[in-house]
């Protein structure tokens, strides 16, 4: 018999791997979609960052990658908007 959703916790040993797999699949698919959109007209970089934000919940390396991308994007924006 399954437990009601209100009684499930992230500390349960069975639900933790399933949650981690779900985050990996959904975040990975979002990142791949974003990478496919980069050469096409559309918000590819934003979709990649969204996928990394999902992955960040379970994988700290994804958070570091997202921070690096944000840093590069901020520098590029400041150069692009600098008058002169």
* Spatial distance between the Cα atoms of 79 and 84, rounded to a whole number of angstroms: 10
Please list the rounded mean pLDDT of every run of 10 residues in the chain (84 residues): 54 76 91 89 85 87 85 85 76
Q: Give pLDDT, residue 75.
A: 87
Q: Give pLDDT, residue 46.
A: 87
Q: Quick one: which of 18, 43, 40 has its CA closest to 30? A: 43
Q: How far is CA 3 from the centre of its chain?
A: 29
- For the chain, the domains span 15-81
- Do 65 and 54 meet the contact criterion of CB atoms below 8 Å apart? no
Q: Give pLDDT, residue 32.
A: 92
* Spatial distance between the Cα atoms of 16 and 47, rounded to a whole number of angstroms: 26
């Amino acid at each position: 018999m399954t437990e009601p959703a209100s009684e499930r916790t992230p500390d349960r040993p069975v639900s933790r791997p399933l949650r981690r797999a779900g985050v990996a699949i959904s975040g990975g698919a979002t990142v791949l979609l974003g990478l496919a959109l980069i050469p096409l007209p559309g918000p590819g970089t934003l979709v990649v960052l969204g996928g990394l934000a999902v992955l960040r919940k379970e994988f700290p390396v994804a958070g570091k990658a997202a921070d690096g991308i944000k840093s590069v994007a901020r520098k590029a924006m400041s150069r692009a908007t600098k008058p002169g």
